[in-house]
Structure 1
Amino acid sequence: MTQFQTEIKELKEQVIEMWQLVHSQLTKGLSALLNFDKDLAREIVMIEKRVNAAELQIDKNSENILAIYSPVAVDLRFVLAVLKINTNLERVGDIAEGIAKLIIDTDKPFKQELLDHTQVVEMYGEAVKLVEEILLAFENEKTTDARGIFKRDEFLDEINKKANHLLIIYLKDHPEDLQQALNVLSIIRRLERVGDQAENIAEEIIFYLEAKVIKHTQRKGNGKNA
């Protein structure tokens, strides 16, 4: 194995490690929500610094490979994809931190009826699975699995679309839960963005393996998969 191949391999391993860290952050956030565990939420906020540090290191290593080796073809596409995937993963980390802060700022445990009514727990579980499954697509270099993410994200989109209406209905009977309802809505909005990041990553995997560019904005805009 050449030095170039070694550095490409190490870069992929670094991305996978960051991915696993971000996945762990999301998973802890779900647990913190279900158990109203503010200590766990604070741990997520603290660990976010590691996510940011990992992003900076991966960017630096990617730029060094581009500058030193001038890769071409699939190797070039891989490094370019990693630069974008790295940004998407950092944003997922930010989302996990944002959800953790909402849990910390909430006065008392979320009412189970509110969680059930909005499907936020189901949505959160699906978001965690999306991050896990797109990682497997990256590790195994399977574009078929990456394409499966587009369909899976529709579930998150549907819950997000219904959220305002469902919360209005809920608040008619439970006006005292306004603050909790607003926090749940904020969590739902953030989880929808996790789906968007997963789709962006799927596009980058397809780009690097197949040299095909899929326009995410067009697909979301016309409601059809590319």
Structure 2
Amino acid sequence: MPDKHLSSQFDADLSLLSTRLLGMGGLVESQITHAIDALNTFDMELVERVVEGERRLNAMEIEIDEEISNVIARRQPAARDLRLLMAASKCVTNLERAGDEARKIAKRTRRIAMGSNARDINIAEIKVSGEMASNVLRRALDAFARMDTTAAEQIIRDDEAIDNEFRAFVRKLVTYMMEDPRAISKGLDYLFIAKAIERIGDHATNIAESVVYVVRGTDIRHEHRKQREHEVLRS
């Protein structure tokens, strides 16, 4: 993740942080995969695995943030090194929140499975967006590990595809609920799941944005959103 420093211990500290952060990222990816699989199969074992895994993610967030604070206190980093540590802390927060979204998906899946006619709604868009969200998070973590701004910028652009799947599903869901008011409760559960997947994509995008911040010292968190809004208004 970082460049080499005069202090080999500082390099060791940063390497350990990188390993722990990527380990947390791997657990989040697993949580998302299990949550989407549970939605496809209504496997309650997977649901419980995701719900239980959330506790481990919370503990990892606290451990890594504490280590980041200790490194800052010991090394008093400046410039890019300080940006890196700040970005790592934000990355951990985004990973924990992505894990929260996976837990929401699992809990809503359990609720849907307990109802009747759980498979009545075609959830093709949810499945597609779930796979996309998991993939983009993996790519964001890889970009963070390598500090690859080119990959990070592509991830930021690709976030729109997940949003498009979400909007397509919402349109279909609204039509479905209007045609059958008895399905509103179940439809809302699926809506919450679709929104959770969209939020996972947003957290992955936040991680990608932090890569640009570390390397270039430029905060681009709102720039691409403004550009997107401008393009929509022009079309």
Q: Same fold (TM over 0.5)?
A: yes
5 Å-filtered alignment, 1:209-220, equals 209-214=215-220, 216-220=221-225
Equivalent position to 2:119, from 86, 97, 111: 111
Give, in whole Å, the separation in 1 of the partners of 2:174 and 2:10. Answer: 57
AA aligned to 1:141 is M
Structure 1 pair 164–113 and aligned structure 2 pair: CA distance change class (3 A): closer
Please state if 1:36 is matched with 2:39: no
Deviation (angstroms), 1:140? 2.4
Distance 1:55 1:166 in 2: 37
Aligned equivalent of 1:18: 24
Q: Mind listing any 5+ residue stretches in structure 2 that lack a counterpart?
A: 1-6, 231-235
Measured after TM superposition, the shift of residue 171 of structure 1 is 2.6
Q: Would the alpha carbon gap of residues 221 and 38 (structure 1) be closer, same or farther in structure 2, given more than 3 Å must change?
A: farther
- Is the counterpart of residue 132 in structure 1 residue 131 in structure 2? no
* Kept in 1: contact 2:155–2:208 (CA 8 A): yes
Q: Is the 8 A contact 1:114 1:181 kept in 2?
A: no
User: Identity, % of aligned pairs?
Assistant: 31
Partner of 1:184: 190
Cα 1:7/1:46, change in 2 over 3 Å: same
* 2:150 counterpart (144, 153, 156): 144
- Matched-pair contact (CA < 8 Å) for 1:77–1:207: yes
Letter in 2 for 1:220: R
> How many angstroms apart in 2 are the aligned matches of 1:217 and 1:139?
23
User: Partner of 2:77: helix, strand, or coil?
Assistant: coil
Aligned residue among 166, 186, 189 for 1:160: 166
Deviation track 1:53-73 (CA, whole Å, cap 9, x = no partner) reads 000011000000111110123
- Counterpart of 2:183 in structure 1: which amino acid? D
* Cα distance change of structure 1 residues 137 and 224 upon mapping to structure 2, 3 Å threshold: farther
Unaligned runs of 5+ in 1: none
Task: Tell me how far 1:174 sits from its aligned partner.
Answer: 4.2
3-state SS, counterpart of residue 121 of structure 1: helix
Contact 1:114 1:170 in 2 (8 A): no
Instruction: Deviation per CA, 1:90-141: give whole Å up to 9, x if none.
Output: 100111111111111222474264213xx11111111111111111112222
CA deviation string 1:69-89 (max 9, x = no partner): 101232221111101111111
Alignment coverage as a number of residue pairs: 222
- Residue 211 of structure 2 corresponds to 205
Q: What does 1:60-71 align with in structure 2 at a 5 Å threshold?
A: 60-71=66-77
**TM-score if structure 2 supplies the norm length?**
0.88
Tell me whether 1:195 sits opposite 2:201 in the alignment. Answer: yes
Name whichever of 53-62 and 72-81 sits farther off.
72-81
Cα separation, partners in 2 of 1:150 and 1:110, compared to 1, 3 Å: farther
The residue type equivalent to 1:88 in the other structure is N
Supply the AA of the counterpart residue of 2:79. Answer: A
**Residue number in structure 1 paired with 2:4:** none
CA distance in 2, matches of 1:203, 1:139: 13
8 Å CA contact retained: 1:120, 1:188: yes
| CA deviation after TM superposition for structure 1 residue 158, in Å | 1.6
Moved more, 170-179 or 33-42: 170-179
